[in-house]
Amino acid sequence: MTRRYATKKRIAHLEETLTPRERAIIATLDRLRVATTEQIRRIHFHELTAHSAARQAPAILRSLAARQVVVKLERQVGGARAGSRAAVWSLDTAGQLLASSCGPAGGFHRRRPWTPSLSFLAHRLAVSEVFAVLSEREHAGAVEVLDFDAEPLSWRRYVSAHGGTAYVKPDAFVRLGVGQIERAAFVEVDRATESRSTLLVKLRAYRQYWETGREQDRRGYFPRVVFAVPSEERKALLVELFTSQPTETWDLWQVALTEDLIEVLIEGSP
């Protein structure tokens, strides 16, 4: 396919001709950075029959790709037998101009999309899956997704104890409406790849950010810090690390098995 320059004239034409569904897909990829065909189908084609959605989602993504709005990355998840449902998409150059950010790894500078490492991609898609499941729950009327920011939109900057600039970098920030209750969380999708010392550094960063009071001033409370982990062994490690923190911070932390994460985010308890 011949690549065309993303001129102002072409971007203006795209803005005039995109359908509401196409705009929503762009917004989702801007939010998540990457998503599979199947995740996009579940988020944006839920009102269609299964057969119609399975046909339309890939077709619309191919159409957007032809206009260089989205791009299919070189890797897919689930192997060749997973078929087109496992194709992974990100914003192409025109899509980045129509949105606010950039390609599959995040950041704030426009660039031609590239395919991250398999482990990086798997982690980002795990975060996208959290949003996909929450979207399904929202379609079913169980919850309202008020905010969902993946990296780097989820990051928080603060002044460290030594006066320098520091960051806390959750995988996602989630804010939900459950009836009349608002629940928010910084989510860490833990794949048991980080060492004990790395986890302690991460907890210290959250603690220091909590101590600044910035988030409390912004929304009146500090969101829970929820770790989703793949095993009971990893869960026990996180509980041990939580209890090593100052007692006044114990209410900040929560850990759940990956399959229980959505219920914890909605219900507020394991």
Q: Quick check: 241 and 198 in contact, CB under 8 A?
A: no
Q: So what's the pLDDT on residue 175?
A: 98
Overall domain count for the chain:
2
**Average pLDDT of the residues of the chain:** 89
Contacts of 65 (CB under 8 A, 6+ apart): 71, 72, 89, 92
Please tell me the predicted confidence (pLDDT) of residue 147: 96
| In a domain? residue 46 | yes
The answer on 160 and 98 residing in a single domain is no
Q: Judge if 257 and 147 occupy the same domain.
A: yes
Helix, strand or coil, per DSSP, at residue 71: strand
**CA atoms of 186 and 169, how far apart (whole Å):** 9
Check whether residue 195 and residue 236 sit in a common domain.
yes
The verdict on 176 and 72 lying in the same domain is: no
Instruction: Report if residue 16 sits inside a domain.
Output: yes
More confident residue, 10 or 256: 256
Domain boundary among 99, 116, 133: 116
Domain boundary residue, one of 116, 132, 164: 116
Q: What is the pLDDT of residues 67-114, one digit of tens each?
A: 999 999 986 665 544 456 689 999 998 898 888 644 444 444 555 566
Is 217 part of any domain? yes
Domain end (from 116, 135, 165): 116
- Same domain for 246 and 149, yes or no, is yes
**CA dihedral of 125, 237, 148, 104, whole degrees rounded to 10:** -30
- Burial class of residue 269, CB neighbours in 10 A (0-12, 13-18, 19+): exposed
Asked if 172 contacts 128 with a C-beta cutoff of 8 angstroms, the reply is: no
Total-model pTM: 0.89
Single-letter amino acid, residue 105: A
> Do 199 and 257 reside in the same domain of the chain?
yes
Alpha-carbon torsion angle 218, 219, 220, 226, nearest 10: -110
Whether 33 maps to a domain, the answer reads yes
How far apart, in Å, are the Cα atoms of 76 and each of 29, 34, 73, 116, 122?
16, 11, 7, 11, 10
Instruction: Give the count of alpha carbons within 13 A of 219, CB side only.
Output: 12
Do 149 and 230 lie in one domain? The reply is yes
Q: How confident is the model at residue 59 (pLDDT cuts 50, 70, 90)?
A: very high
Give a yes or no: residue 1 inside a domain: no
> Is residue 199 domain-resident?
yes
* Average pLDDT over every residue of 147-157: 95
The β-bridge relationship of strands 224-229 and 181-189 is parallel
Q: Are 127 and 32 in contact (CB under 8 A)?
A: yes
For 184-203, b where at least 16 C-beta lie within 10 A, e where not — what string?
bbbbbbbeeeeeeeebeebb
Q: Does residue 163 sit in the same domain as residue 258?
A: yes
Distance CA 76, CA 121 (A): 9
**Which tens digit of pLDDT belongs to each residue from 201-257?**
999 999 999 999 999 999 999 999 999 999 999 999 999 999 999 999 999 999 999
Is 18 part of a structural domain of the chain?
Answer: yes
- Tell the burial category of 157 from Cβ atoms under 10 Å away from its Cβ (0-12, 13-18, 19+): exposed
Coil/strand/helix, residue 55: helix
212/148 same-domain check: yes
Q: What is the CATH number of the domain that holds 84?
A: 1.10.10.10
CA distances from 122 to 56, 61, 78, 237 (A): 25, 20, 10, 23
96 within domain boundaries: yes
Q: Assess whether 199 and 246 both reside in one domain.
A: yes
DSSP states along 5-27: ---HHHHHHHHHH--HHHHHHHH
Compute the distance between CA of residue 142 and CA of residue 136 in angstroms, rounded to an integer. 9
Residues 104 and 26 in one domain: yes
Instruction: Give residue 231's domain range.
Output: 143-267
Q: Are residues 83 and 156 in the same domain?
A: no
